[in-house]
A and B are shown apart, each in its own frame.
Chain A
Amino acid sequence: MASDERPPLNPRDLADLDFQLSDEERMIRDTVRAFVADRVTPNAAEWFEQGTLPRELAPELGKLGLLGMHLRGYGCAGASATAYGLACMELEAGDSGVRSLVSVQGSLAMYAIWRWGSEEQKREWLPRMASGEALGCFGLTEPDSGSDPGSMRTHARRVGGDWVLRGQKMWITNGSIADVAVVWARTDEGIRGFLVPRGTPGFTTQDIKGKLSLRASVTSELLLDDVRLPGDALLPGATSLRGPLSCLNEARFGIVWGVVGAARACFEAALDYSREREQFGKPIASFQLVQERLAEMAVEVNRAGLLALQLGRLKDAGRLHHQQVSLGKLANTNAALAVARSARQVLGANGIILEYPVIRHMANLETVVTYEGTADIHRLVLGEALTGVSAFR
């Protein structure tokens, strides 16, 4: 029998994800949610329209402890993977650009240094990056080398005790605002990572203009024109493509969660709108076709949230495989895109203006479905996991 002890059904959390979270996880989630409601949501449309993300947001995120939050030591909070995921979810409910800043800083740049760097490199960079005083970026993708990073042309050669880097990196989040770039380059010893501080002679950046997606985020090209670096700029631990791929796997995990936030924001915007908007003398929420949309959106948001949580628990238990992250990224970004597109139609003409968050999320998700491994590449990863046959390597 049903008992009165059950908490009331929450239409915004139908699957009761909350029940699966610890008090601490809920407090972290609620704190990030409050921060986003205060600092991100009211400004996101303006940032998107102007194509900027204020630099001063980084120290605010650092003060909360969100930068490199899942790393241990060196000023990092040492939170669980699930807590990191929850933070990503709330940040991306604000805007994918803000979540991208946190992902790139924590999971790509900081993680690369934390996992593959020397003790000196960690001490020099990680505390400043955790506080948001210093920003990092991650240079792997090139104009002609995207899904196939092994084909990169950027190379580094030894000159005495130094290294000389030459090449070009493309689609680099935070590129022009970063204080340090983690740059991956081909060497005689395989693919190696280098820390390139801003202002190093020969190292310049150029922002990519004309983006219609992820506009509240800086995306740049890195130009390395015979950049001479001391020997200790090399990340000693990474000696192959496994180095950068390990970082991407961390960031993808955050995306699995982040897109649930974007989807939830779209769903909630559609739910609220449908109850207020009246046509034919009644709220459009009372029409069956709108209810069908809302029900389908709720299914996708809840299912995506449950999958993200399952992957979080697996990661915290130390048993997460990268193929499972591919499963999550593929499933959840596609789900989020479907929710955003459906929500946009519920909002009618209001669905195409920045006054409502839906079109912004929908446009952002077109980036998210492509970066950090395209949906198609993740399909092929799963194809290989299922059949034992790689279709692309």
Chain B
Amino acid sequence: MKICCLVKEVPDAAVQKRIDPNTMRLDRSGEKNLNPFDTHALEAAMQIRESGVVQVDEIVAVTMGPESAVRALHKAVALGADRSVHLTDPALEGSDVNATGYALAKVLESEQPDLVLLGQQSDDGECYTIGAVVADHLQVPSLTQVIKIDVAEGKLTCERQAEYGYDTVEVELPAVISVGDAINEPRYPSLKAIMGAKKKPLDTKSAADVGIDTSEVGIEGSKTRVLAINPPPAKEPGEVFEDEDTDETVNKIVAWLEERKLV
């Protein structure tokens, strides 16, 4: 089995996020890191390999991004990937979710994995959708919010987190699976793995290398346009019950909850 993990370089969690009013895009300057949600996908791949149920021949980390994204790939191989692929091209800059999904699908076509894993969301754009978009371009099944994977020859049995409870879904391979962060506790990369990361193969691919039609990507190729950005509406202040007489306070809270049919 060959597993590709889609990973992304995102602004570090400590960096305050802001939209650049000129480009209408997220300001991605400052300290960056591997998207923490993708570390769950890498860990899931490692656990499939270590379970020994199927033989995993290769785990490949795949990213699309500027030159700096190489660091996210180094972290991905430190966490267990055998090699990495970096799709980078000026033509890709400004791609929306659909264009990005198309571009990643083209890389995956050249890799022909049996299974594609990714984190449920990126820590910057937080669209939660890239897995489904990639799967649609590849015309393979896709599952989201997966928190348990049982692997067998040619198929997976997955548990996905639904709004109420869990769905158990069997899926034929190849498939694109986006995993929830409840699926596992990612390991720390060991020092040796960190120090060995730069020695693992890293293929840099341009749009042309993987047959991307550049009219389908970048700002021009994207089907969405950001017309305006607005801050979220301010939340109305909550209702505060001062606890002077506890019986009365309890009654007030119960009445409030009943009014909203919450009890």
Contacts and interface: CB of A to CB of B under 8 A. Distances in A.
A binds B: yes
Interface of A: 7-8, 18, 23-24, 27-28, 30-31, 34-35, 63-66, 69, 77-79, 83
Top 7 nearest A-B pairs (CB, nearest first) are: A65-B191, A77-B191, A65-B190, A27-B194, A77-B192, A65-B192, A31-B188
Contacts of B195: 24, 77-79
A7 B195 CA distance: 26
Interface of B: 29-31, 33, 71, 74-75, 78, 188-192, 194-195, 197-198
Contacts of B197: 24, 27
B199 to A, nearest CB: 11
Contacts, number: 45
> DSSP class of A's interface residues: helix, strand, loop or mixed?
helix
B50 to A, nearest CB: 14
Given A24-B74, A77-B195, 11 more contacts: A24-B195, A27-B75, A30-B33, A31-B188, A31-B191, A31-B194, A63-B190, A64-B188, A66-B191, A77-B191, A79-B191
A30 B33 CA distance: 10
B192 to A, nearest CB: 5
Nearest to B71: A23
A77 B195 CA distance: 8
B194 A28 contact: yes
A31 B192 CA distance: 12
Contacts of A28: 191, 194
A64 B29 contact: no
Contacts of B30: 7-8
Nearest to A63: B190
A243 to B, nearest CB: 27
22 contacts: A7-B30, A8-B30, A23-B71, A23-B74, A24-B195, A27-B189, A27-B194, A30-B33, A31-B188, A31-B189, A31-B194, A34-B188, A35-B188, A63-B188, A63-B190, A64-B188, A65-B191, A65-B192, A66-B191, A69-B191, A77-B190, A77-B191
Contacts of A65: 190-192
Nearest to A69: B191
Contacts of A18: 31
A8, A23, A63, A78 — most chain B CB neighbours (10 Å): A23
Contact of A64 (B31, B75, B191): B191
Nearest to B186: A34
A113 B9 CA distance: 42
A7 B192 contact: no
